[in-house]
Amino acid sequence: MSLLKVEGLGKSYTSDIKILKNINFEIKAGEFVSIIGPSGAGKSTMLRCMNRMVEFNEGKIIFNNNDVGSLNKKELRKLRTSIGMVFQHYNLVPRLTVIENVLHGRFGYKTTMQGILGRYTEEEKERAFYLLEKLGIHEHAYKRCDQLSGGQQQRVGICRALIQEPKLVLCDEPIASLDPSSSKIIMDHLKSISTEMGITCLVNLHQVEVAQNYSDRIIGLNKGEIVFSGTSSELSEEQINKIYGTETKDLIMA
Amino acid sequence: MNEKTMRKSRWQTVIFLLIIIVLTYLSSAITQFNFIDGMATIPEAVGWIFSNLMITQESLGKLPKILEKLNETILMSIAATTLAAVVSLFLGLFGSKTTKINNFLSVFARFIASVSRNIPVVAWSLILLLSFGQNSVTGFLALFVGTVGFLTRAFIESIDEASQSAVEALKATGATYFQIVSKAVIPQCLPQMISWILFMIETNIRNATLVGILTATGIGYTFDVYYKTLNYNAVALVTFCIVIAVLIVDFISNYIRRVIL
Ligand SMILES: Nc1ncnc2c1ncn2[C@@H]1O[C@H](COP(=O)(O)OP(=O)(O)OP(=O)(O)O)[C@@H](O)[C@H]1O
Ligand SMILES: [Mg+2]
């Protein structure tokens, strides 16, 4: 039984250009799937259709037996609580502390008033510290986020996604702003989320090798169309050229 | 910067200077303002200021009354600014791309901002004088309206700049609009907003004097009365008090800025 099923997904921001064309794929619970493709292929757009941060025009997305496209505002809010999101630029509130930022992930479960007053239960706070410890940044819990390094901020971002108790985590180029060693830490954490906690990960990536090392499956996107879908070992040189529309040599040179 | 762009920018400076010189010449020719004659009157004017605008023992007797009026003016400026800040916060939220509720309110907020900002406070006073007459309500409203325009514009920019990414993240967690505003937008923008509010309080205290002359209220009126009765020593004292007050407010707001930023 698949957790996420996308059928004939299409998206256009303006009437003249179609950014996504007839996208079809299925993802099983606990799978780690990467999306690769050249800049402007529509990776970010596709990811954001899954939780309707971007409204799509055509097709159907079934997440956890919900028809995502037909949900009303309240139902959409509920859906979003079960989908975590991790961003390239971390998207934290820089002036607030680490622990506050992590607890923001609970807003979806609260009434507006509880959120404004910052009412969190003991379990929520304990869970937040547990997650910070798991990602190795508990000693920074009371620091302001803008005092943390990029890699540490991204781990805060992951904690915020995990405290939602999501079934799916969407990551939009989570390591694009990080150095290689921080990148490895982040990717290892994301991988363990899917293997240990059974949370499905859908990750946009720029680096083909990283995608090959970590993914159960890779989806290649070019000009809004899926041109490859398969395991890391199935991704040959030729396939990579098809996805990026160039020789890999040129890619490295560029 | 390479040599080519350097030479280009040097040329730009020369052209820019030439344009300024030509404009200055043209405008003084059109208005028949003779720069040399203007300069020649300066020594005389300075002499007049020093001989007439002196604070004397006699004028010091008016100090309590002046301070009372000054106090009134400062409090009115602060009240007008803070009330305007509350209104501007909402208009700022509506007007910002990241926190707008709908397009209509967004356009509305931006419209209010540009209309009230692009009309000078003095013009607002004169317009409002017609409907409210010479009283403190007019002065208060004039400051209020001008401030709403300025602060709305400033808040829209602060919100757009500071919180766009966090707003996206919180939306994706399923947070509600007011949760996002109160826990991401406001905490992130507050220091900048306070800084703008302090700036407007300073500006409004200066403006209030001018507005007071027109609306016959506050320290501006006191100034006007002494000026028209040729009591220049008292005028000097009033001016001195205003300068000191502005300096003190400046000092306090700079201190607050240092602490919060
Ligand atoms: N809000 C928007 N309005 C209009 N066009 C948009 C919008 N967002 C994205 N686009 C366009 O959609 C196309 C795909 O953008 P998208 O950000 O999804 O690409 P991407 O694959 O994530 O690229 P990158 O690797 O550079 O992040 C681009 O041509 C972009 O110009
Ligand atoms: Mg992108």
Predicted confidence (pLDDT) per residue in A129-159, tens digit: 999 999 999 999 999 999 999 999 999 999 9
Banded pLDDT at B37 (limits 50, 70, 90): confident
Interface test with chain A among B173, B177, B179, B190, by most A beta carbons within 10 Å: B173
CA–centroid distance, A91 to ligand 2, in Å, is 14
The yes-or-no verdict on residue B2 having pLDDT over 90 is: no
Confidence of residue A247 (pLDDT cuts 50, 70, 90): low
CATH 1.10.3720.10 fits B58-260, yes or no: yes
Q: Are A59 and A7 in contact (CB under 8 A)?
A: yes
Are B70 and B246 contacting, i.e. CB atoms less than 8 angstroms apart? no
Question: What local confidence, expressed as pLDDT, does residue A98 receive?
Answer: 97
Identify the residue whose C-alpha is closest to ligand 1 atom 8: A45
Q: Which residues of B touch A160 (CB under 8 A)?
A: 169, 173
Pick the range with the lowest mean pLDDT from A107-121, A203-217, B48-62: B48-62
| Residues A57 and A95 occupy one common structural domain | no
Q: What CATH number corresponds to the domain at position A177? A: 3.40.50.300
Reported as a single tens digit per residue, the pLDDT across A13-23 is 999 999 999 99
Q: Give the residue whose CA is nearest to atom 4 of ligand 1.
A: A13
pLDDT per residue as tens digits for the range B53-101: 777 777 788 888 889 999 999 999 999 999 999 999 999 999 999 999 9
Looking at the structure, tell me whether residues A180 and A161 fall in a common domain. no
Q: Are residues A28 and A146 in the same domain?
A: no
Looking at the predicted structure, is the pLDDT value of residue A246 above 60?
Answer: yes
Q: Which of A147, A165, A183 is the last residue of a domain?
A: A165
Report whether A81 contacts A167 (CB < 8 A): no
Q: How confident is the model at residue A115 (pLDDT cuts 50, 70, 90)?
A: very high
What's the CA gap between A206 and A209, in Å, rounded?
9
Query: From CA B246, how far away is CA B255, in angstroms rounded?
Result: 14
Per-residue pLDDT at A254 exceeds 70: no
| Distance in Å, alpha carbon of A229 to nearest chain B alpha carbon | 27
The full 3-state SS of chain B, as one line of letters, equals CCHHHHHHHHHHHHHHHHHHHHHHHHHHHHHCCCHHHHHHCHHHHHHHHHHHCCCCHHHHCCHHHHHHHHHHHHHHHHHHHHHHHHHHHHHHHHHCCCCCCCHHHHHHHHHHHHHHHHCCHHHHHHHHHHHHCCCHHHHHHHHHHHHHHHHHHHHHHHHHHHHHHHHHHHHHHCCCHHHHHHHHHHHHHHHHHHHHHHHHHHHHHHHHHHHHHHHCCHHHHHHHHHHHCCCHHHHHHHHHHHHHHHHHHHHHHHHHHHHHC
- The residue whose CB lies within 8 Å of the most ligand 1 atoms, and thus the one to mutate among A11, A17, A19, is A19
Give the domain extent around A157: 91-165
Determine whether the shortest distance from the Cβ of A41 to ligand 1 is under 6 A. Answer: yes
In this structure, the residue with its CA closest to atom 25 of ligand 1 is: A39
Residue B13: predicted pLDDT = 87
Asked if B174 and A157 come within 8 Å (Cβ–Cβ), the reply is no
Cβ distance B188 to A93 less than 8 Å, yes or no, reads: yes
Q: Across chain A, what does the average pLDDT equal?
A: 93
Count CB atoms within 10 A of the CB of residue A187: 22
Q: Classify residue B24 as exposed, middle or buried by CB count within 10 Å of its CB (0-12, 13-18, 19+).
A: exposed
Q: A42 and A137 share a domain?
A: no
Contact across the interface for A115 and B187, Cβ inside 8 Å:
no
Measuring CA to CA, which residue among A18, A16, A68, A27 is closest to residue A199? A27
Mean per-residue pLDDT for B100-106? 93
Atom of ligand 1 minimally distant from the CA of A173:
27
Q: Which residues contact A196 (CB under 8 A, 6 or more apart)?
A: none
From chain B, the residues in CB contact with A162 under 8 A are: none
Looking at the structure, tell me whether residues A156 and A194 fall in a common domain: no
Under the banding of pLDDT at 50, 70 and 90, the label for residue A252 is low
Residue A1 has pLDDT above 70, yes or no: yes
Q: Do A247 and A170 share a domain, yes or no?
A: yes
Is A15 a pocket residue for ligand 1 (Cβ < 6 Å)?
no
| pLDDT value at residue B35 | 74
Task: Identify the pLDDT of residue B48.
Answer: 79
A54-70 average pLDDT score:
95
Answer yes or no: is the C-beta of A40 below 6 A from any ligand 1 atom. Answer: yes
Please tell me the distance from the alpha carbon of residue A90 to that of residue A110, in angstroms, as a whole number.
Answer: 23
Distance of CA A19 from the midpoint of ligand 1 (Å)? 8
pLDDT at B26: 85
A25 touches A219 (CB < 8 A): yes
Spans of all domains in chain B: 3-52, 58-260
pTM of the model: 0.84
- Residue with CA closest to ligand 1 atom 5: A13
All residues at 6 or more sequence positions from B12 whose CB lies less than 8 Å from its CB, including other chains: none
Nearest CA in chain A to B191: A95
Q: From the candidates A54, A93, A113, which should be mutated to test the interface with B, based on the most B CB atoms within 10 A?
A: A93
Is the distance from the beta carbon of residue A13 to the nearest atom of ligand 1 less than 6 Å? yes
Average pLDDT on A95-122 reads 95
Q: Is residue A124 located within the same domain as residue A177?
A: no
| Residue B174 to residue A160, Cβ atoms within 8 A | no
Q: How many domains does chain A have?
A: 2
